[in-house]
Each structure stands twice: as C-alpha cells, then as structure tokens.
Amino acid sequence: MKNSILKLVFVLFGFFVLTSVSNAQIPDQIVMSIQNGNDVGLAEFFNENVELVVLTHDDVYSKSQAQQIVAEFFKANRPKQFSIIHQGGKDGSRYAIGSLTTSNGTFRVYFLLKNKDNNSYIHQLRIEKQG
C-alpha cells in the first residue's frame, strides 16, 4: 500500500513537471526565424508594440518599425547558428535566452512572449553583443 501511494506521488509529480515544461516551450517558428535571419517570420510574432534593444536601438517600436530594425540587423550580421540556452515561463508568459552566432560575432538574444487571444506575441526582444 505504501509503495503504491509513493509511486502515485512520483507519477503525479512527473506529470506536473512535464506539463509545466511543455507550457514554457518557445514556438519553433521563432527559433527558425532567428536562425535563418527571417525578419518577416519573426515579425509575425511581434505584438503591436515591441520593446526592442538591438545594438544602438533601444525603445518601444511599432511592429513594422521593429521588423525594419531586425531586418537591418540580420542584413549586417548574417546568422550562422542559433540555440536556446534557457527558457521558462508562468502565468501566460514565456521567455528564452539564446546564443546567436553571426558573420560578425556572437550575440545574446532574449525575448519575452505573452499570450493574448490564445496566441503568443513577442513583447520584448533584446539582441546584444557578447563578450
């Protein structure tokens, strides 16, 4: 009896851990857009206004302005590889920290997604030179 209860507790704990991890997953389209330097694909996930920090740009921009800034960045810094280093989330928001290797060096990428109308939107995006 005691072993059965202990097994049930472990199974339930594992279920809750897996559920919380799956809720924190970042959409593959975002990862692929960054890795491929696809500003159009990335902008599909932008909220109407995005807090953007990309090199010398640091402000809240409209979706179209943010896309133009990201396009300029990708044009000047051709992505070679992108990987998520850490991600998490709770209460309708998720974040990820990644490393972007480009033709001009490595950048730390951070973005914050929030749920709105059953969709995830990027509310904050930071691309900062590493090292």
Domains delineated in the chain: 26-129 (3.10.450.50)
Write down the pTM of the prediction: 0.80
Q: What pLDDT score was predicted for residue 19?
A: 38
Low-confidence ranges of the chain (pLDDT < 50): 6, 8-9, 11-12, 15-23
Can you give the length of the chain in residues? 131
Q: What pLDDT score was predicted for residue 113?
A: 97
Q: What pLDDT score was predicted for residue 16?
A: 45
Q: What pLDDT score was predicted for residue 9?
A: 47
From CA 23, how far away is CA 2, in angstroms rounded? Answer: 32
Query: Mean pLDDT for the chain?
Result: 87
Q: What pLDDT score was predicted for residue 117?
A: 87
Q: What pLDDT score was predicted for residue 20?
A: 38
Residue with tokens 């807090």: 51
CB-based burial label for 108 (10 Å; 0-12, 13-18, 19+) = middle
